[in-house]
Structure 1
């Protein structure tokens, strides 16, 4: 392999794996809050009702 190709491969690997590690660290430091006081009870009830119904399908 050419030196340019090796450098580009290293840059791509650092970007991909570095982005993955950065995303994991961000999500671990700021987890998503579920069931907080800001949720609308009507929307939560609608979601629960929709989740208990079978998935609609089309016959086309």
Structure 2
């Protein structure tokens, strides 16, 4: 593998796992709760 391929692989991994981590943090702070009014 060339150096540019390794750099692109690392960037892709950081983007995917970083996005997953940010999504988990946001859901932990503001969990999606179903509205009680709409389920009646």
CA deviation string 1:1-59 (max 9, x = no partner): 100000000000000000000000000000112344xx23xxx25xxxxxxxxxxxxxx
Residues 13-32 of structure 1 mapped to structure 2, 5 A cutoff: 13-32=13-32
Q: Which runs of 4+ in 1 moved over 3 A?
A: none
- What are structure 2's unaligned runs of at least 5 residues? none
Distance 2:2 2:29 in 1: 40
- What are structure 1's unaligned runs of at least 5 residues? 46-60
**Number of residue pairs matched by the alignment:** 40
Distance 1:8 1:35 in 2: 42
Distance 1:22 1:29 in 2: 11
RMSD between aligned residues: 1.5
Who is 2:4 aligned against?
4
